[in-house]
Amino acid sequence: METIGAVDVWIQPHTKECAGRWSAEMAHVLKLFGRETTLAGISIEEMVAEMDQAGIEKAVMSALMDPKGHIVTNEFVAEVINKYPGRFIGQFAYDPRTGMKAVRELENFVREFNFGGLKIEPFIFHTPPNDKVYYPLYAKCCELEIPVTIQVGHTAPLLPSATGKPIYLDEVALDFPELKIVAGHIGWPWTEEMISIAWKHPNVYIDTSAHTPKHYPPAFVHFLKTFGQDKSLFATDWPLLPFSRPMQEIDSLGLSRSIKRKFLRENALKVFPFRE
């Protein structure tokens, strides 16, 4: 059997210190996914061992925020990726309402700490992704030639979901055609709307974070197998999902060898600036 060496484009550290910062509203998602026990924390060494066992070669590791601030800081992500060179790309998360401070911090982490992306979860700020508060960050991403990952779809945390409607990305993609936009969570439950945006715009991609292959919406499976085979990225949203479960379920999709390689690895390496 071919060993592909998968690339997971959405994970975040979940050490004891990080897990202790989860608010009740955010931790609700762990309860929904049956992962409450992870609130005791998982060491970075344990996480990497789990990746190895599941066949995850590389990952995009994000800082994580809730409405009160950082659960996982950018500084901690920088420490982890420095410890495992070539294994991770850091993804910057910051409050966009801080204006140029956020822009300068993004540039610093990209240039000094090998970060390779921006993460925005609009529900944290109760502000949709086409709001102009994000535009300085989008412009800086274009300048730095890095992608932005945006949470799209329903929010499992106990926070409003309306900012996750995929149609908001249409305006962003029009205003920033150079910007690579990765839309998270398959846009569920608005998956067909999300597919329409990715079909329309060359710079829009869809990742599968927080979804397991056996439960991918049929419309997305069709997209993955046909006209979206170059626009689909594998992701777990670890620790929300263990690395092993989606990897074990991939073959249930009936993908061809070439599409499986694109989905698990090649598309991610085209979107994110991994360094060997």
Residues 65-77: tens digit of each pLDDT: 999 999 999 999 9
Q: Tell me the mean pLDDT in the region 203-231.
A: 98
Q: Tell me the mean pLDDT in the region 130-154.
A: 98
CA distance 197 to 215: 21
CA distance 218 to 253: 10
pTM: 0.96
CB atoms < 10 A from the CB of 34, how many? 8
Residues 6+ apart with CB under 8 A from 12: 18, 61, 62, 63, 64, 71, 72, 238, 239
Please write the tens of the pLDDT for every residue from 49-69. 999 999 999 999 999 999 999
- What fold does the segment set 6-271 form as a domain? TIM Barrel (3.20.20)
Give pLDDT, residue 3.
Answer: 80
Give pLDDT, residue 42.
Answer: 97
Query: Residue 159 pLDDT > 80, yes or no?
Result: yes
CA distance 224 to 117: 23
The structural domains of the chain, with segments of one domain joined by +, span 6-271
Q: Tell me the mean pLDDT in the region 3-21.
A: 95
Phi and psi for 175 in degrees, rounded to 5?
-75, -25
Question: Could you give the C-alpha distances from 39 to 5, 35, 73, 79, 217, in angstroms and in order?
Answer: 28, 8, 17, 21, 29
Mean pLDDT of the chain: 96
